Homo-oligomer: A and B are copies of this chain.
C-alpha cells in the first residue's frame, strides 16, 4: 500500500509518522508551504512535492489533512488520482467529496495532537466512513494496522464526537490555563496542580464523570462559592465562567 499525505500540520505529521512506524509506505507529502513538506518528508523517507500536479496518481490512498475549508479545494485538483481519497477532519461531512472523485472516505483520529509530543496511536479511536463498502474496507484495514480502536461513524455522529471532544479536551485545557492564570497572579507554580489534573482524568477512565463530581458546587457549599467569587472580583470573565459552571454543576445534584 502506498499513501500520499496532503498537509504538514499536527494531524498530518502524527498520522504520517504512525504509518511509517508500521511500515506502510508514505510515498509523497504535499503542503501549502513546501519547506514544511520537506521537513515532514525527511522524517519518514518520503518525497516532498511542490505542486499537487506531481502527485503519484497510482498511489492507493490520498489522506487530506488540511484546514476544513481547504479540503474541497484540494480534492478538486486531484481529479486524476485513481485511489481512495479521505480527509481527517472531525467536522467536515463525507459529502464534501461528492462529484469530485469516485472512492472517498473519512479517516478521523479522535485525539489531540501537539507538535513536539509523540502519541501512542494504538489507543486512539479511529473513526472511518466511506461512500462504498470497498472503500470502507480499505480504510478499516489501514486503521486496524494503526489502532485497536476502529469505529465506523457516519458524518452526523462524527460531528457530535468532535463537539464532545471540544468540551472534553479544548475547553478542559483552557480551564487548566485559567487555573494557571490564577496561580501565576499569586506567585504560585502550575506544577503544584499537575498531580490533580492527572488524577481528575484518571478517575473517569473507570467511571462516568457525573458519578465522581467533587468540589463546592456539587456539595452546595455556598460559603466557599461566595469566597471564590470574591477572589475573582477583579477578573469579570473568570468570574462569569466560575458562576456559569458552578450553577451548571448544581443542577446535576
Question: Does the CB pair A196–B214 fall under 8 Å?
Answer: no
Interface segment, one of A72-80, A98-106, A137-145, A244-252: A244-252
Cβ contacts under 8 Å, A161 to chain B: 183, 188, 192-193
Question: Does the CB pair A110–B196 fall under 8 Å?
Answer: yes
Question: Does the CB pair B68–A223 fall under 8 Å?
Answer: yes
Question: Does the CB pair A166–B215 fall under 8 Å?
Answer: yes
Which residues 152-204 in A have Cβ within 8 Å of B in the complex?
157, 159-180, 182-183, 186, 188, 190, 192-204
Cα–Cα distance between A221 and B89 once the two chains are bound (Å): 13
Cα–Cα distance between A101 and B166 once the two chains are bound (Å): 50
Question: Does the CB pair B248–A174 fall under 8 Å?
Answer: yes
Q: Does A33 contact B (CB under 8 A)?
A: no
Given contacts A176-B168, A180-B208, contact A110 B195 (CB under 8 A): yes
Question: Does the CB pair B193–A117 fall under 8 Å?
Answer: no
Cα–Cα distance between A163 and B163 once the two chains are bound (Å): 27
CB distance from A78 to the nearest CB of B (A): 22
Cα–Cα distance between A252 and B194 once the two chains are bound (Å): 21
Copies in the assembly, this chain? 2
Cβ contacts under 8 Å, A195 to chain B: 110-111, 123-125, 149
CB distance from A43 to the nearest CB of B (A): 21
Cα–Cα distance between A22 and B199 once the two chains are bound (Å): 22
Binding site of A, secondary structure by majority: helix, strand, loop or mixed?
Answer: helix
Interface segment, one of A24-32, A50-58, A128-136, A224-232: A224-232
Cβ contacts under 8 Å, A160 to chain B: 182-183, 186, 188, 231
Cα–Cα distance between A199 and B173 once the two chains are bound (Å): 11
Question: Does the CB pair B201–A205 fall under 8 Å?
Answer: no
Question: Does the CB pair B248–A170 fall under 8 Å?
Answer: no
Question: Does the CB pair B192–A110 fall under 8 Å?
Answer: yes
Question: Does the CB pair B123–A216 fall under 8 Å?
Answer: no
CB distance from A171 to the nearest CB of B (A): 5
- Besides the known contacts A166-B215, A166-B216, 17 further A-B residue pairs in the complex with CB atoms under 8 A apart: A67-B221, A68-B221, A110-B192, A110-B196, A114-B207, A149-B192, A151-B192, A157-B188, A159-B227, A160-B182, A162-B224, A163-B232, A170-B214, A172-B172, A174-B245, A180-B208, A197-B201
